[in-house]
Amino acid sequence: MKTTIIGFPRIGEHRELKVATESYFRGDSTQEALVNKGKQLRRMHWNLLKDAGISLIPSNDFSFYDTTLDTAVLLNIIPKRFLDLQLSPLDTYFALARGYQGEAGDVTALPMKKWFNTNYHYLTPEFEESTTVKVVGTKIFDEYSEAKELGIETKPVILGPFTLLKLAAFKGTTEEEQLFAVLAAYKEIIATLDSLGAQWLQLDEPSLVKDLSDEDRALFLKIYHELTAGPRTVKLLLQTYFGDVRDIYADLLAVNVEGLGLDLVEGKKTLELIETFGFPQNKTLFAGVVNGKNIWRNDYRQTLEIIEKLPQEQLVLSTSCSLLHVPFSVEQEAFPKETAQHFAFAKEKLSELTELAAIVNQTADALINEPLIRNQQLFQATRAVENQQLASKIAGLSEADFQRHPAFEERSSVQKYTLELPELPTTTIGSFPQTKEVKATRAKFKKAAISEEAYQKYLESKIADCIAFQEEIGLDVLVHGEFERNDMVEYFGENLEGFLFSKNAWVQSYGTRCVKPPIIWGDVSRKRPITVAWSTFAQQLTTKPVKGMLTGPVTILNWSFPREDISIKESTLQIALAIQEEVLDLEAHGIKIIQIDEAALREKLPLRKSDWYQEYLDWAIPAFRLVHSKVAVETQIHTHMCYSEFADILSAIDQMDADVISFEASRSNLSLLDDLNAHHFKTAVGPGVYDIHSPRVPSVTELVTTIKTLLEKLPVEKLWINPDCGLKTRGEKETFASLENLTQAAAQVREALVYESVRE
């Protein structure tokens, strides 16, 4: 039985590609050095796969930034404004990815979007009227030949034409207008690979796992009918991932490709589809049985049961998706052996594939099979001790635990009275600039270069300055500034029982940016108060309310590697109970307003609309409610989301039952505000009045106009005035100036309102 993977992480075992690329960006190294680094990494990774015994090794899964962008550039889908810069091909590529500002001109980057249901981001290909699609690049061919010269036969990988069109933006042109040229270009790629002697070409078509309309299906079939017509020797692998292909499976069986890649991990219905509709004898089934998204070892017994149900003679064992989404290797970690043996990062997943293949190849002797026995022992032993108390607490939760009393309207009138806030209350989202000094001081403390006491004193002085500034400019609801936090999830993970942190488990998020998600190892509970000391310290410095600042359970879960031995719902409820304790502790210590951030709530919304509620929102929203359901009527609960694309789940957002929600509003604000009205959205709202992602300082006049526009859509008693996200990535100077203008603008609008009401 053969093995393959869909793609391998390209950032390097020690993020070498990040280092090299950033050095090039800074102008510290040459293009040649960067190109060579890429070559060196590719060689290392190919050899690693070869040594691991993987039969079909991918190529062109490497990228200097993003493989979707690679495909666009290969096909000349480059907007004119970038071509006009007349940069070298590599610099044009980076300009598309990051924007360009310099002698040649000033252009913003292509929009970046989340890659399906992952935390990876791709660049949106942009077709415009002047676009002439044709094969202008050579990367896919060069990398195939490069490997061949090293004696390694590879399977080139490229984003498929259907998904390319589905992800692309069209400006002054349409999908139909571009289709012919796109098809011709893909045909040319196939022909060229044919002449180079390639045996397989993998066409990635993850868009097939989404809800498909009749038009989508027709488009797909048209594309593949054209693409596969005519003679060729290279075999085509139609690769899907991130779910099952229930809307098109039956049709796929008739498509003239030699291989079909299906996801048996996230694709809940994949097995059922194969069993119901069968699998044609003339195709190879690339079975995604090893999870490409999570870091746990594969349970061989379970996987073998799945494999048994598949057409054995036609199988290639594969991963559920590209290994891009997991870190490089466990070898780099300092976990004790008993812990480390439970993890399989990218490198370890390779041996899982070859071990599974070996086991299948000699089923008769399964019992003398050492890897299988070892694997079974691993899964039979108890990994993390169960917290019985917590389990019974969760089992005992009832409706009432998820419902705050009294209802919103009653709370809101009580809070109006007790909090004594003015109309159009002003506030911020929580963090203040994390200056170099703040980061350096935290680093010193972590290295034990300064004492805990000194660190504490430093943070207290930062908080005191922050409170003084907010009082001075007249903000109404203050924050302590979050100077003690490295990251909104890591900080909570570090202070909760049940999380593990890696040293080097980086995963690419976009371009050179990587994240290091915590691992949820066991049952989660609160070890000790987390934020109480900082919030109470800040509160005793002022008579104005200071908002307590927490990260919500859904976001903590979504930005971690989740457990596989219990459900995600169960894990989230555990986190929710831990955060609930923190909420009640803050309340008991006199904190009257508490914000619970759910920055990543939207991110894990299932790819299919039909799964949104049952699979996700039906437990995610209650988990949020559980966190705040027990607070007193006077305590005001805020939440924050970094985006405003929630028009389609507005009722779910309202059912979070927060008192106030702040969100990003710069782009789609006006239509969203209409939607809020149409849905009788009850929660008070703070649509961000300026964009914190840019250093630009908004003027008072501009902010007054923005607030007035908002007031045309929203009743004054529902509106809060705030920036659109936390200020931690901003510089101090622009932040102070912007906030001062914000409070002045709010004051001016308030005055105008009083004047108008007197006139009436």
Stretch that binds ligand GLN, among 265-273, 511-519, 521-529, 725-733 (CB under 6 A): 725-733
Q: Is 726 in the site for ligand GLN (CB under 6 A)?
A: yes
**Smaller CB distance to ligand GLN: residue 519 or 727?**
727
Nearer to ligand GLN, 568 or 599 (CB): 599
Using CB under 5 A as the binding rule, whether residue 642 contacts Zn ion is answered as yes
Instruction: Determine if 600 is a binding residue for Zn ion (CB under 5 A).
Output: no
CA distance 631 to 191: 66
Q: Please, what is the minimum distance in Å from the beta carbon of residue 112 to Zn ion?
A: 16
Whole-number minimum distance, CB 725 to Zn ion, in Å?
3
Residue 266, CA distances (Å) to 211, 249, 289 in order: 15, 16, 9
Q: Is 728 in the site for ligand GLN (CB under 6 A)?
A: yes
**Which is nearer to ligand GLN, 284 or 431 (by Cβ)?**
431
* Identified binder of ligand GLN from the candidate list 599, 620, 707, 745, rule CB under 6 A: 599
- Residue of 14, 225, 405, 693 marked active site: 693
User: Could you tell me where the beta strands, DSSP code E, fall in 629-751?
Assistant: 636-641, 660-663, 684-687
What does the alpha-carbon distance between residue 683 and residue 679 come to, in Å, rounded to a whole number?
11
Please list every residue from 379 through 418 that binds ligand GLN, using CB under 6 A: none
Q: Does 73 bind Zn ion (CB under 5 A)?
A: no
524 is a contact residue toward ligand GLN (CB under 6 A)? no
User: Do the beta carbons of residue 411 and residue 706 sit within 8 Å?
Assistant: no
**Cβ proximity of 495 and 530 under 8 Å:** yes
DSSP per residue over 90-128, as a string?
A: HHHHHHHHH-EEETTEEEPPPPEEE-TTSS-EEE--EEE
Concerning whether 693 is annotated as a catalytic residue, the answer is yes
Residue placing its CB nearer to ligand GLN in the complex, 295 or 488: 488
- Sites for ligand GLN among residues 578-597 (CB under 6 A): 597
Q: Spell out where 430-491 has E strands.
A: none
| 617 is a contact residue toward Zn ion (CB under 5 A) | no
Rounded CA separation 47/54 (Å): 10
Smallest gap from Cβ 555 to ligand GLN, in A, equals 8
Q: Which residues of 583-618 are buried (b: 16+ CB within 10 A; e: fewer)?
A: bbbbbeeebbbbbbbbbbbbbbbbbbeeebeebbbe
Q: Point out which span in 173-181, 428-436, 468-476, 704-712 binds ligand GLN (CB under 6 A).
A: 428-436
- What CA–CA distance (Å, rounded) separates 109 from 436? 27
- Cβ contacts of residue 3 below 8 Å, gap of 6+? 53, 54, 55, 56, 316, 317, 318, 353, 354, 356, 357
What's the token pair of residue 184?
């011709």
Dist. CA 429–CA 86, nearest whole Å: 42
Using the rule CB under 6 A, is 431 a contact of ligand GLN? Answer: yes
Question: Please, which of residues 623-652 interact with ligand GLN by CB under 6 A?
Answer: 640, 642
Alpha-helix residue ranges (DSSP H) falling in 99-237: 139-149, 161-167, 175-196, 214-228
> How far apart, in whole angstroms, are the C-alpha atoms of residue 223 and residue 229?
10
Residue 554 sits in the site that holds ligand GLN (CB under 6 A): no
Residue 725 as a binder of Zn ion (CB under 5 A): the answer is yes
Asked if 649 is part of the footprint of Zn ion (rule: CB under 5 A), the reply reads no
Which option in Zn ion, ligand GLN, none does residue 431 bind, with CB closer than 5 to 8 A by kind? Answer: ligand GLN
Comparing every residue's Cβ against ligand GLN, the nearest one is 726
Name the one range near ligand GLN by CB under 6 A: 101-109, 419-427, 531-539, 724-732: 724-732
Which lies closer to ligand GLN via its Cβ, residue 359 or residue 599?
Answer: 599
* Closer CB to ligand GLN, 156 or 425, in the complex: 425
- In the list 350, 488, 594, 710, the residue contacting ligand GLN (rule: CB under 6 A) is 488
Instruction: Kindly give the pairing relationship between strand 121-123 and strand 126-128.
Output: unpaired
> Smallest gap, in angstroms, from Cβ of residue 549 to ligand GLN?
5
Report whether 599 contacts 488 (CB < 8 A): yes
Return the amino acid letter for 183.
L
- Our finding on whether 490 is near ligand GLN (CB under 6 A) is no
CA 162 to chain centroid: 23
Residues counted in the chain: 760
With CB under 6 A as the contact rule, the residue among 237, 265, 321, 429 that binds ligand GLN is 429
Q: Contact residues for ligand GLN (CB under 6 A)?
A: 429-431, 482, 488, 549, 597, 599, 640, 642, 725-726, 728
**Which residues are annotated as catalytic?**
693
Q: Contact residues for Zn ion (CB under 5 A)?
A: 642, 725
